């Protein structure tokens, strides 16, 4: 009796081995997630704008600003109480669509902020008007979006707001409770602030947690480009320290 031939066809062993090797070497393709991955120290295209040694590239009142031990320091003493807010202004570029990363530490009575897309106030030295990522030692306001000398509170910590033309901001979503988000801020220690600005969307983050988002559709009052500056605020003696300041422009 003639043996029945199998209907299966076998691949040459060499081809099978080659296929296995390809699968193993390409395993990352099959393991790759379809979902967003956490950021891992992505510093591509970020440029340092503070050399850690001097205030080169910055302008401000030397009574209040200095460099010490690699840190940019703003300080108000009992002898130098302010009558108005004063800024240290970056004078080597402007901010339009950009990302900013820096570290800060603020004293318990401190009040500061990071201004962007701002402009100088005529006749008032080292004063800025514009968007501000707020910072304060009691973390009542830290992370919110406040427009200095402008529309004031645009989004409190924990809010995503939208602003229509010549209208007040309206909360359209919650990012978490104000007190809940405070837990991610290191009181009296170093924090990383990350600001992401694209078009009319303004995002403030502290220690990898989103604190506020503004969608600014108020064409008459919003600004698309302007100066970057950091602030010391009127009030009691205080100290604010900044380090590792870097920017990425688009």
- Domain with residue 83: its CATH number is 2.60.120.560
Nearest in space to 231 (alpha carbons), one of 122, 150, 136:
136
Q: Is the dihedral of CA 207, 109, 95, 172 positive or negative?
A: positive
Strands (E) located in 107-237: 111-120, 128-136, 145-148, 152-155, 159-163, 170-174, 191-198, 201-206, 209-216, 226-232
Predicted confidence at residue 41, as pLDDT, reads 64
Nearest in space to 99 (alpha carbons), one of 21, 160, 58, 43:
43
174: helix, coil or strand?
A: strand
Angle at 93 between CA 91 and CA 99, to 5 degrees: 120
Domain of 153 in residue numbering reads as 48-249
| Backbone angle region of 204, left / alpha / beta, with phi > 0 → left and psi within -120 to 50 → alpha | beta
Would you say 157 and 212 are in contact if contact means Cβ atoms under 8 Å apart?
yes
| 41, part of any domain | no
| 15, part of any domain | no
Whether residue 5 is predicted with pLDDT greater than 50 in this model: the reply is: no
How far apart are alpha carbons 42 and 183 in whole angstroms? 25
The structural domain count of the chain equals 1
pLDDT tens digits for range 201-239: 999 999 999 999 999 999 999 999 999 999 999 999 999
> E strand or H helix at 89, and its extent?
strand 86-95
69: helix, coil or strand?
A: coil
pTM of the entire predicted model: 0.85
| 27, part of any domain | no
| 23, part of any domain | no
| 12, part of any domain | no
Using 50, 70 and 90 to split pLDDT, how confident is the model at 40? low
What are the tokens at 147? Answer: 């427009």
How far apart are alpha carbons 49 and 59 in whole angstroms? 13
Cα dist. 52→71, 101, 124 in Å? 6, 15, 28
pLDDT tens digits for range 125-166: 999 999 999 999 999 999 999 999 999 999 999 999 999 999
Nearest in space to 228 (alpha carbons), one of 195, 189, 192:
195
| 134, part of any domain | yes
| 22, part of any domain | no
Using 50, 70 and 90 to split pLDDT, how confident is the model at 4? very low
Using 50, 70 and 90 to split pLDDT, how confident is the model at 9? very low
29: helix, coil or strand?
A: helix
| 69, part of any domain | yes
């Amino acid at each position: 009796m003639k043996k029945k031939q199998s209907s299966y066809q076998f691949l040459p062993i060499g081809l099978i081995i080659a296929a296995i090797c390809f699968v193993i070497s390409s395993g990352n393709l099959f393991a790759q997630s379809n979902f967003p991955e956490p950021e891992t120290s992505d510093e591509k295209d970020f440029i340092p704008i503070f050399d850690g040694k001097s205030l080169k590239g910055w302008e401000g009142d030397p009574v209040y600003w200095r460099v010490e031990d690699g840190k940019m320091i703003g300080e108000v003493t009992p002898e130098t109480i302010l009558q108005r807010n004063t800024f240290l202004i970056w004078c080597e570029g402007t901010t339009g669509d950009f990302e900013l990363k820096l570290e800060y530490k603020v004293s318990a009575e401190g009040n500061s902020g990071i201004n962007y897309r701002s402009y100088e106030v005529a006749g008032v030295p080292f004063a800025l008007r514009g968007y501000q990522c707020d910072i304060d030692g009691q973390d009542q306001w830290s992370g919110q979006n406040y427009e200095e000398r402008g529309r004031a509170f645009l989004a409190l910590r924990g809010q995503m707001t939208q602003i229509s033309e010549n209208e007040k901001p309206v909360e359209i979503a919650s990012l978490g409770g104000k007190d809940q988000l405070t837990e991610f801020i290191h009181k009296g220690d170093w924090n990383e602030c990350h600001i992401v600005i694209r078009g009319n969307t303004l995002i403030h983050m502290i220690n990898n947690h989103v604190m506020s988002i503004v969608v600014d559709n108020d064409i008459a009052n919003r600004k698309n480009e302007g100066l970057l500056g950091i602030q010391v605020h009127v009030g009691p003696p205080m100290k604010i320290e900044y380090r590792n300041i870097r920017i990425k422009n688009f």
